[in-house]
Amino acid sequence: MDSVDKKIVLALFKNGRISQRKIAKEVGLSATSLNYRFNKLLEEKIIKSFSLYVNPNFYGKYVGRASFKNMKDIETDFINVKVKCLEETNVYEFEGSSIKDLQDKLSYMTKTLGEPRMVYIPDQKPQKPSGVDIEIIRTLIKNPRMDIGEISKEINIPSKAILRRLNVLINKNYIKIIPIIDLSKGDIIVFAIYSYAISKLEFLRRCEFLRFVDHDRGIIVCATSDIKEAESYVKESRQIDPLSQVMIAVDYEIKNENAEKELNRIEREALTRSN
């Protein structure tokens, strides 16, 4: 990984659907050179894959996030995201049918993992997705980088309508295409900051690729090219909010099974009502 390779990977964190043409322009390469480097990153499994993150709020569920000391791990069907962190910590995103259900599931996790180090259950309003959005997301789960034209052919909806809905879904933080990077090979630093002073941390926009915020608290996830750059962001954040918590990822996993199951269920119920 040289500096150009890192720029390619960081561009993908910012926008997992960015075209190779746009990346080439951003990093100052010809299309041929960019294609060679991109394929090499895939062949060497620095870029292992791409995954569609789907916020459970999109399909009518509530979502919580919590971190625990990683002396133990847990596998359950209500966990969608798992991040292993440098600080002997695992971070989990979990879903439930209500806030009470989330709290019950947190209690279940606590019995296995011990007391949580961080808990974030935001104010939230789960949605009822439209049929068009369901079709778009189910298609992207299969192939997160599928281009607009291919999606249009797949689900028989005009490209302009897909592009418009896709932008809405991304801007509302319902979906995000995320590259799954081997962080040990890629020498990229991924870190998250949990703070009660989010509005004062706007400088993190420079490295941010994902955020979960309500009112003035939340989690911001960033990617940087080296530990020194990450350290400067963390230091500045803690000067503003000394109580902020920082988690540096060493590995991460995103699951789509619950999203697929719930979207299929919603579609079946809609068909039943229409009949």
CATH class of 3-44: mainly alpha
Specify the pLDDT at position 268.
Answer: 87
CATH 3.30.70 residue ranges for the chain: 186-253
Q: Are strands 79-85 and 89-96 parallel, antiparallel or unpaired?
A: antiparallel
List every span in the chain annotated with CATH 1.10.10: 3-44
pLDDT at site 134: 95
DSSP 3-state of 126: coil
What pLDDT score does 37 carry?
96
| Per-residue confidence (pLDDT) for residue 270, from 0 to 100 | 79
* Candidate CATH numbers 3.30.450, 3.30.70, 1.10.3470, 3.40.50; the one for domain 186-253: 3.30.70
Tens of pLDDT, residues 151-191: 999 999 999 999 999 999 999 999 999 999 999 898 899 99
Successive 10-residue mean pLDDT values, the chain, 275 residues: 93 94 94 95 96 96 95 93 92 97 97 95 93 94 94 95 95 95 92 96 95 93 95 96 94 95 89 72
Predicted pLDDT at 275 = 64
* pTM across the whole model: 0.91
CA 88 to chain centre: 21
The pLDDT value given to residue 187: 86
β-partners of residue 92 are 66, 82
Contact 66, 120 (CB under 8 A): yes
Distance CA 178, CA 189 (A): 15
273: Cβ contacts below 8 Å, ≥ 6 apart: none
